[in-house]
Structure 1
Amino acid sequence: MKIYLAAVPALAAQIVAAAAADLPFREAVLRPAFPAAESVPVPDWTGLYFGAHVGAAADGGFHGETLAPLPAVSARTSLGGFTGGGTIGFNYQFAPQFLTGLAPGGGLVVGIEADGGYASFRSQSSVSVPTLGFSAEGGLGTDTYFATLRGRVGYAWGPLLVYATGGWAASEIGVNGGVTVPGFSVPVKLKNLPAGLPIPQAITFGGFSGSASRSMPVDGYVVGAGIEYAVLPNWTVKSEYLYADLDRTVTVRASPYQARFNAGFDVHQLRIGVNHRLNWL
C-alpha cells in the first residue's frame, strides 16, 4: 500500500507533462503596467504656402519735389485707403530647439514671400464757386496694383511665429484733375470807327470745361514685422505691419530746357491674412 501511494506523485507529474506537450506554444510577452504616452508632433514651418490678405492705410502721404536746376519746391498731402490681394511664399525652419519644461519647442525660421493685389490709396481735393459757376478738382491715387517681394526671418515657438520682413515694393500713382470755367462777357466801347461797321457791345468768352489724368509706375523699399499662428495643422492666421516708400524721378524736356521732378508716396499699412500650408510636417 505504501508503494502505491509513493507512485502517485510521479504519475501525476507525467500526466501534467503530457497535457502541457499537447498545448500550443505561446511566447511570453512583457506588457507595461501603463500604456506609453503618445508623442506630440512638433509643428514645422518648413514648406510652401499661399493665402490672402486685406489691409488699410494707417498713415502716409503723396509727396513731390523739384530737382536741380529748378529751385527747390516740395509738397505733401496725406492719403487714406485700403488694399487686398494674394500671397505666396516659402519658409525653412532650422532644427527645432526643445526648451526645458516646454513642449513643443522652437526654431529659427527664414523665408521669402511675394504678394500682390489691388490698392486704393487716395488724396483728393476740390474747390468751387457756385455763384460764378467755377469749379476745379484734382487728386492723386493708386487705383491699381500694389506688390511686394520680401524676405522674412523670425523665431517659432511651436505654432507661434514672430518675424521681421523687408524687401522691394512696386505700384503706380495717377494724377487726375478737372476744371470748369464759366462763360462771360466783357462790355466794350469803341470810338472813331469807320461809318457803316457794326459796333460790338461786348466781347464774349464761351467758357471751358475739361479733365485729364496721367499715371506713372513707382517702386521702392518695404519693411515691417508680424505675428503668425497655426490654428490648424496646415492653416495659419497672421497680423502684420508694413511701411513702404515708393517714388520715381521724371524728366520733362522742352528744348533747350529740361525739368526734373521726384514724385511718389509712403504708406503705413496694417494687414490681416490667412495662409494655407501645403506641407506642414
Structure 2
Amino acid sequence: MKKLTALMLAGSVAAIAAPAMAQEANTFTGLRGQIVGGYDDVTAGSSVDDDGNDNNDQSIEGFAYGAAVGYDFDFGGAVIGAEAEYTDSTAKTDFNDGDFEGFGFGNVDAGRDLYFGVRAGAKVAPDVLAYAKGGYTNAKLNVLANDGTTEFDEDFDLDGYRIGAGVEYAMNTNTFINVEYRYSNYSRAEVDFNDSLPNSDRFDVDLDRHQIMAGVGVRF
C-alpha cells in the first residue's frame, strides 16, 4: 500500500512538473529588453556621392550603441514579434592628412537613430532562433558648415526603411544574446533648424547604412 501511494504521489508530481517544464522550454516568448552595440557604416548613395574625386571617402564609420525593447509570440517552431530601438553612433567625417573626407553632405556626424519594426523567425534548435526583420527607421545627421561669416549647425532628419537578419541564442529562460546584420536606406529628409526657423520642406536624399550589431538582453 505504501509503495502504491508513493507511486501515485510520484505520478502526480510528474504530471504537475511536465507543464512547467514545457513552459520553461518556451524560451522565445514575452517582453524583452536588451543593450546593443556594433559596427556602423553610413554611405552616400549614388545621387549624392562624389565619384569624380577618387580621394573622397564616400562613407563614415563608427560604433553604434543603444537599447531595444520588444515582445515576442512563440508558436512552437515559429516566433513573431515587434520591437523598437534607440541608438547613437560615433560615425563622422574627418580629415586625413589634410584631405577632407566630404561624404557628399559636408562635415557631418551620425546622430540618434530610431527604429520600429517586426521580426519573424524559426527555431533551428530548442534554444536557437534564426530570424528576419524589417521596419521604419528615422535617423539624424548633424551637419556643420561655415562660409566664413556664418556657421551652419543643424540636423538632417532622415526617413527610411530597414531590413535585416540575425541569430538569437537563449542562454536560459531569462537571458539571451544575439547578433544580426541590418541594412537601412534613407530616401527623404528635412532640415531641423535649431533656432526659431521652421523646419525645411522634405526633399530627396540617398543614404545607405550597413550595421553588424550584437546584443545581450533579458526576458521578463
TM bucket normalised to smaller: 0.7 to 0.9
Identity of aligned residues (%): 26
CA–CA separation in structure 1 for the residues paired with 2:96 and 2:151: 13
Amino acid across the alignment from 2:186: L
Amino acid across the alignment from 2:154: R
Q: Structure 1's 248 and 127: CA in aligned 2 closer, same or farther, altered over 3 A?
A: farther
Which of 93, 115, 118 lines up with 1:151 in the alignment?
118
Amino acid across the alignment from 2:204: N
Which of 253, 265, 281 lines up with 2:207 in the alignment?
265
Aligned residue runs from structure 1 range 94-109, under 5 A = 94=75, 96=76, 107-109=77-79
Q: C-alpha offsets along residues 207-261 of structure 1, whole Å, 9 cap, x if unaligned?
A: x56643232200100000011111122000000111111132569xxxxxxxx95
- Contact 1:64/1:263 (<8 A) preserved: no
- Contact 2:142/2:155 (<8 A) preserved: yes
Q: CA deviation at 1:125?
A: 4.5
| Bigger CA radius of gyration | 1
Q: Aligned pair count?
A: 188
Which of 135, 139, 152 lines up with 1:171 in the alignment?
139
- Contact 2:157/2:190 (<8 A) preserved: no
TM-score, structure 2 length as denominator? 0.72
Q: Does 1:124 align with 2:94?
A: yes
Q: Unaligned regions of 5+ residues in structure 2, if any?
A: 51-57, 192-201
For 1:91, the equivalent position in structure 2 comes to: 72
- Contact 2:174/2:219 (<8 A) preserved: yes
Which of 51, 55, 66 lines up with 2:34 in the alignment?
51
Q: Does 1:238 align with 2:206?
A: no
Amino acid across the alignment from 1:55: G
**1:29 aligns to what SS in structure 2?**
helix
Q: Structure 1's 124 and 211: CA in aligned 2 closer, same or farther, altered over 3 A?
A: farther
Q: C-alpha offsets along residues 18-40 of structure 1, whole Å, 9 cap, x if unaligned?
A: xxxxxxxxx453366xx888855
Q: Structure 1's 126 and 161: CA in aligned 2 closer, same or farther, altered over 3 A?
A: closer
**1:123 aligns to what SS in structure 2?**
coil
- Contact 2:179/2:213 (<8 A) preserved: yes
For 1:68, the equivalent position in structure 2 comes to: none
Q: Structure 1's 117 and 60: CA in aligned 2 closer, same or farther, altered over 3 A?
A: closer
Aligned residue runs from structure 1 range 55-70, under 5 A = 55-57=38-40, 59-63=41-45, 65=47
Q: Does 1:79 align with 2:38?
A: no
Q: Structure 1's 123 and 262: CA in aligned 2 closer, same or farther, altered over 3 A?
A: farther
Aligned-pair Cα RMSD in Å:
3.2
Q: Unaligned regions of 5+ residues in structure 1, if any?
A: 1-26, 66-73, 97-106, 129-134, 180-207, 252-259
Q: CA deviation at 1:63?
A: 4.1
CA–CA separation in structure 1 for the residues paired with 2:45 and 2:113: 18
Q: C-alpha offsets along residues 72-120 of structure 1, whole Å, 9 cap, x if unaligned?
A: xx425212112111110000011x3xxxxxxxxxx11000111112123
Q: Does 1:276 align with 2:218?
A: yes
For 2:169, the equivalent position in structure 1 comes to: 229
- Contact 1:56/1:82 (<8 A) preserved: yes
For 1:15, the equivalent position in structure 2 comes to: none
For 1:162, the equivalent position in structure 2 comes to: 130
- Contact 1:173/1:264 (<8 A) preserved: no
Q: CA deviation at 1:275?
A: 1.3
CA–CA separation in structure 2 for the residues paired with 1:140 and 1:264: 15
Amino acid across the alignment from 2:62: G
